[in-house]
């Protein structure tokens, strides 16, 4: 079976390719914008000499290149997404790119349309109305107020909605995975769920909230298990590891294992009060200061939830490594990479 | 006051700035946005709560009955889009650069004025609080007659806009005859030209590429350092676009027959340099304190603006749009004279001819 991985050169994409090879897959096409940046993939491929790992240069803004990339493919794992840039750029790179991809799939004869595995995000859930410590599982409603969220969450929501629209229209074989906070060597050091660096201090906003961590290899394993499982068609799976820790635990372990930091803890009630002031000031001052905090954003990001991976486990997924080991590996890497600390 | 119905065509990065300003403006309502990529129009509409979004300008114009259209697309299509808007009776507000050549810019303005409508261009930094104060000083005669002008603008190739440019060899900026300079040097010459006598100036330009890296794509042909010397009558000017000096500065200094004044756009200061009043080394002790006092006083002024909620990042765009919309309502003079826009474009054309001669030949 030929499997196409989009975004294969990215932090998660590389691990997806590795897990596919580990699961015995032998025909993988890796889509990258620039194949000269595929050295890490070549290193991985070299460990599996029996497999064919093809580096395929394509930009999802270019429909002709997408069509070429789909030739002979039975399964696509769509991991390409924008993590930064202006809102328009992020929308172009995630949503418009996905539309181009889906149009290319739609143009194929029905029998040649591949199974599609979409890497979505926890960001698509509407968690603000749930209340603190509510369980987030696959039945949690999708966000209804995307404009009030961060741009990344909005782009991921719109992207996933579009995949379901095409799935309905074309009866596609679609599987959606919604990872929480993907971490590991090479990731950012802190999710915003833990806190933010402001004015030379680390403002700790996560308190005792659980952080929905998923180590990059565990997340890639989940994607591969779902991609290769016939039962997953039309299903959604949250991706979060076992034994996840709280924001406070993450921060104290980080300070112990990576470096000490000056932190300012902000309790939730104070955060909500301050967010209300920031939002009102933004309106009253006609945008003189941006509404980076609003009560809705704060409730979404720092309200605190519990997370279920029961459905993923029922499919047969097991973490490749424990959270304890994942954090150890990450912090060891971070310790030697201080420049990326922010 | 009539509330103007406003639309935007071109929903890329800069459209966010227009939408942000329009969200808080009185006397105007952003009712629709348009992009040939409908999804881009949708995201702008959703994020700013704009009622209409379209994938076709003709459709937006037909359905929305707009008074003004902000054209925030790349400049190569400004003329064609302007003609469409004008045919539908809409005034236009355009992002810089106005067009790829002065000839196209002239045709654009003629298309607007020929239909009895108005246009303006988003030279918003020139309407920021400090820039308005600078204009008041010049108009008061406090510096006498200009003798020499220095305009400097820095650019960060690793910044948000720079990255978009350097990361995409197909970016529209690489397709313009004057590449990066054409996208940025309005901000030099729209400040210099109004200070020169109204005669065709001498223009001497040279440019070079300072960054050493080779990427083997079209980004390699882009020069990144520009220096221009101008003279018209008794006034000279020096303009620099600098991609490698830090901090990334944005300044204008006018040396006059009575005094000199310097405007710092980034820091929002307008300062008369101190001069030595008393002889000997003792006389040299005072100016630093004089300058400190002048900056302190400017800081207080800025604090007052902040307290009155007049210190937004795009405060200049709000002022410029207020003036432009007022001129639409009254039929009066637009805030930026068309002759100034065209003189600026003429200077830009001549610079591009000198620093990218081959590209200019092709574009002809």
Q: What is the pLDDT of residue A341?
A: 44
Confidence of residue A342 (pLDDT cuts 50, 70, 90): very low
Closest Cβ opposite residue A91 in set B21, B43, B318: B43
Strands A236-239 and A174-179: parallel
The pair of structure tokens assigned to A126 is: 């509407």
Q: What is the pLDDT of residue B280?
A: 84
Closest Cβ opposite residue A95 in set B24, B39, B318: B39
Same domain, B92 and B130: no
Same domain, B83 and B205: no
Same domain, B212 and B114: no
Query: Which of B87, B121, B155 lies at the terminal end of a domain, its last residue?
Result: B121
**The CATH number of the domain where B208 resides is what?**
3.30.360.10
Average pLDDT of the segment spanning A68-90: 94
The nearest CA of chain B is from the CA of A96 a distance in Å of 7
Q: What's the pLDDT tens digit per position in A256-279?
A: 999 999 999 999 999 999 999 999
Average pLDDT of the segment spanning A193-212: 94
Q: How far apart are CA A203 and CA A267, in angstroms?
A: 10
**Interface contact A154-B46, CB threshold 8 A:** yes
**Interface contact B312-A287, CB threshold 8 A:** yes
For chain B, say whether A280 makes contact (Cβ under 8 Å): no
Q: Is residue B337 part of a domain?
A: no
The ipTM of this complex is 0.93
Closest Cβ opposite residue B309 in set A86, A146, A285: A285
**Interface contact A86-B44, CB threshold 8 A:** no
Q: What's the pLDDT tens digit per position in A25-48?
A: 999 999 998 888 899 999 999 999
Q: What is the pLDDT of residue A339?
A: 60
- Specify the CATH number of the domain A3-189+213-243+306-322: 3.40.50.720
Same domain, B131 and B96: no
**Interface contact B16-A158, CB threshold 8 A:** no
Name the 3-class secondary structure at B357: helix
The nearest CA of chain A is from the CA of B314 a distance in Å of 9
Q: How far apart are CA B101 and CA B14, in angstroms?
A: 21
Q: How far apart are CA B155 and CA B159, in angstroms?
A: 8
Closest Cβ opposite residue B13 in set A89, A146, A284: A89
Q: Is residue B190 part of a domain?
A: yes
Query: Which of B121, B145, B175 lies at the terminal end of a domain, its last residue?
Result: B121
Rounded alpha-carbon distances, angstroms, from residue B253 to A49, A50, B189, B276: 66, 68, 13, 19
pLDDT of A181 over the 60 cut: yes
Domains held by chain B: number: 2
DSSP structure string for A268-280: HHHHHHHHHHHHH
Q: Which of B24, B43, B166, B171 to mutate to test the interface with A (most CBs of A within 10 A)?
A: B43
Contacts (Cβ under 8 Å, ≥6 apart) of A227: A3, A20, A75, A77, A115, A117, A175
Same domain, B105 and B234: no
Same domain, B110 and B238: no
pLDDT block averages, 10 residues each, chain B of length 364: 96 97 96 98 97 98 98 98 98 98 98 98 98 97 97 94 87 95 97 95 97 85 97 97 97 98 98 86 90 97 97 97 98 97 97 89 55
Same domain, B203 and B351: yes
**Interface contact A146-B306, CB threshold 8 A:** no
> Residue B91 sits in which domain range?
4-121
Same domain, B215 and B242: yes
Q: Is residue B172 part of a domain?
A: yes
**The CATH number of the domain where B80 resides is what?**
3.40.50.720
Same domain, B133 and B156: yes
Q: How far apart are CA B229 and CA B220, in angstroms?
A: 26
Which residue on chain B is closest to A281 by alpha carbon?
A: B309
Q: Is residue B317 part of a domain?
A: no
For chain B, say whether A84 makes contact (Cβ under 8 Å): no
């Amino acid at each position: 079976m030929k499997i196409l991985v989009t975004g294969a050169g990215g932090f998660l994409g590389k691990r997806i390719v590795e897990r596919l090879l580990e699961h015995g897959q032998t025909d993988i096409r890796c889509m990258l914008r620039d194949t000269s940046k595929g050295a890490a993939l070549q290193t991985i491929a070299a460990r599996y000499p029996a497999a064919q790992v093809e580096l395929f240069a394509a930009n999802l803004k270019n429909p002709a290149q997408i069509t070429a990339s789909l030739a002979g493919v039975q399964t696509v794992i769509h991991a390409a997404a924008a993590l930064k840039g202006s809102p328009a750029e992020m929308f172009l790179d995630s949503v418009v790119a996905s539309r181009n991809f889906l149009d290319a799939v739609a143009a194929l004869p029905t029998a040649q349309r591949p199974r599609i595995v979409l890497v979505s995000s926890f960001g698509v859930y509407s968690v603000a109305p749930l209340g603190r410590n509510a369980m987030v599982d696959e039945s949690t409603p999708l966000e209804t107020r995307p404009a009030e969220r961060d741009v990344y969450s909005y782009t991921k929501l719109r992207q996933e909605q579009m995949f379901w629209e095409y799935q309905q229209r074309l009866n596609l074989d679609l599987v959606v995975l919604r990872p929480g906070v993907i971490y590991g060597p090479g990731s950012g050091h802190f999710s915003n769920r833990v806190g933010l660096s402001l004015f030379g201090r680390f403002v700790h906003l996560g308190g005792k909230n659980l952080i929905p961590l998923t180590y990059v290899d565990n997340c890639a394993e989940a994607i591969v298990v779902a991609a290769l499982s016939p039962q997953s068609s039309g299903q959604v799976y949250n991706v979060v590891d076992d034994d996840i820790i709280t924001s406070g635990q993450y921060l104290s372990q980080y300070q112990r294992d990576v470096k000490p930091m000056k932190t300012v803890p902000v309790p939730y009630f104070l955060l909500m009060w301050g967010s209300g002031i920031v939002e009102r000031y933004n309106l009253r001052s006609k945008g003189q200061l941006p509404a980076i905090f609003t009560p809705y954003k704060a409730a979404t990001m720092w309200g605190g939830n519990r997370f279920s991976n029961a459905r993923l486990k029922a499919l047969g997924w097991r973490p490749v490594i424990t959270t304890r080991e994942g954090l150890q590996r990450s912090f060891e890497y971070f310790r030697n990479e201080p420049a990326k600390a922010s | 006051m009539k509330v103007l119905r406003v639309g935007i065509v071109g929903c890329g990065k800069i459209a966010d700035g227009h939408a942000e300003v329009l969200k808080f403006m009185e006397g105007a309502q952003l009712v629709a946005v348009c992009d040939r990529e409908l999804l881009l129009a949708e995201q702008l509409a959703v994020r700013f709560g704009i009622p209409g979004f379209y994938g076709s300008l003709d459709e937006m114009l037909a359905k929305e009955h707009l008074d003004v259209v902000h054209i925030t697309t790349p400049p190569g299509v400004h003329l064609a889009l302007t003609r469409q808007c004008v045919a539908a009776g809409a005034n236009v507000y355009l992002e810089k650069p106005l067009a790829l050549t002065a000839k196209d810019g002239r045709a654009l303005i003629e298309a607007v004025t020929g239909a009895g409508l108005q246009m303006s261009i988003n030279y918003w930094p020139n309407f920021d609080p400090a820039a308005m104060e600078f204009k008041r000083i010049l108009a008061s005669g406090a510096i006498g007659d200009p003798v020499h002008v220095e305009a400097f603008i820095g650019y960060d190739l690793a910044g948000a806009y720079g990255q978009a440019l350097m990361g995409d060899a197909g970016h529209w900026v690489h397709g313009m005859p004057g590449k990066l300079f054409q996208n940025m040097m309005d901000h030099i010459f729209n400040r210099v030209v109004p200070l020169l006598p109204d005669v065709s100036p001498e223009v001497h330009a040279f440019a070079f590429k300072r960054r050493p890296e080779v990427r083997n794509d079209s980004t390699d042909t882009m020069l990144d350092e520009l220096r221009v010397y101008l003279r018209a009558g008794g006034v000279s000017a020096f303009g620099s676009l600098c991609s490698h000096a830090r901090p990334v500065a944005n300044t204008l200094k006018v040396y006059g027959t009575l005094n000199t004044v310097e405007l710092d756009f980034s820091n929002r200061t307008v300062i008369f340099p101190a001069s030595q009043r008393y002889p000997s080394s003792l006389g040299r002790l005072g100016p630093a304190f004089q300058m400190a006092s002048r900056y302190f006083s400017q800081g207080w002024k800025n604090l007052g603006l902040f307290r009155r909620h007049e210190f937004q990042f795009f405060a200049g765009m709000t002022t410029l749009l207020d003036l432009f919309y007022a001129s639409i309502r009254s039929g009066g003079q637009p805030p930026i004279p068309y002759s100034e826009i065209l003189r600026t474009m003429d200077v830009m054309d001549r610079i591009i001819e000198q620093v990218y001669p081959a590209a200019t030949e092709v574009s002809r």
